[in-house]
Amino acid sequence: MYTAKLGFDHKKSNTELLGEYKAHTLFVCSVKCQKDCIVFGYNPTMKKCRIHKTISTSEMSEEADLAEDCKTFPENCNTNSALSVDCKDLRDNGHTISGVYDIYPYGNISRPVRVYCDMETMDGGWTLTKGKNSYLYVSITDVNDKKLYELYDEFYISNQTEKYQLFPTGKAQGDKMRKKEGSSGAINGMFFTTEDRDHDNFGSNCADAQAGGWWFNKCSNTFLNGPWASQHWYRPWNPTFISGEYIKETMMLIKRH
């Protein structure tokens, strides 16, 4: 149980500061005070939480004027009380720096999910999420730092009971995930296959043969989870990339419409 120190109201400290966070409520702020945290402070106006290992009363100073603080840190001044369900919510609330954030996809402040949010690519707000009204952004960066990407304007993945069935639908310019390509076939509608869960349409387990889980059809020509930077990573995005040894980075980012 925490003890409120009324004399600390409208004060701030930088002594052994462990971090500053956006927090819509005092309770959310208290949840962030876990390992190594002994003291936390919460500003309800700016929805700002500071957690400390300890503080020194002699070092404390008055909280910055709200208008000045908002000018310097505009992301602290959004007073929207709703919990951010995904990275798009965070982006819409002023968070513009890519990094790791807590989101609340279940609408429950006691069940945060820590995710990486891309806040820069195509207006930001990208991560993995659920729901049928989403975009899918796929990018591949080669060893010469050339980046190629594909954008699907509709995308969703089913739940665990439905074996994470994949549905990349909508328009795409150079689609590799839906169209049939030789014997591999489209992966639209396929279940996720792993070495211990074979859901593909091949005679043997594609995940076992290609050393990585994926929505395989017949060990398809679209496969972004192979053994990294290896010639044994077959057909990541055939025929543009026939071997993973030419790839430096791959990303699959999802954002609500």
CA–CA distance from 240 to each of 140, 192, 236 (Å)? 10, 23, 9
User: pLDDT by residue (tens digit) across 136-172?
Assistant: 888 889 999 998 888 888 888 888 888 988 888 766 6
- Greatest mean pLDDT range, 109-118, 132-141, 165-174, 200-209: 200-209
DSSP state of 132: S
CA–CA distance from 149 to each of 140, 222, 241 (Å)? 6, 13, 13
Q: Where are the domains of the chain?
A: 10-78, 82-121, 128-256
Count of C-beta atoms within a 10 Å radius of residue 251: 15
Q: Average pLDDT for residues 116-132, to the nearest whole number?
A: 79
Element (H, E) at 69: helix 66-72
Q: How many residues does the chain have?
A: 257
Q: Which CATH class is domain 10-78?
A: alpha beta
Count of C-beta atoms within a 10 Å radius of residue 138: 21
Question: What is the rounded average pLDDT for all residues in the chain?
Answer: 77
What's the pLDDT score for residue 194?
93
pLDDT over 70 (residue 10): no
Q: Which CATH class is domain 128-256?
A: alpha beta
What's the pLDDT score for residue 129?
55
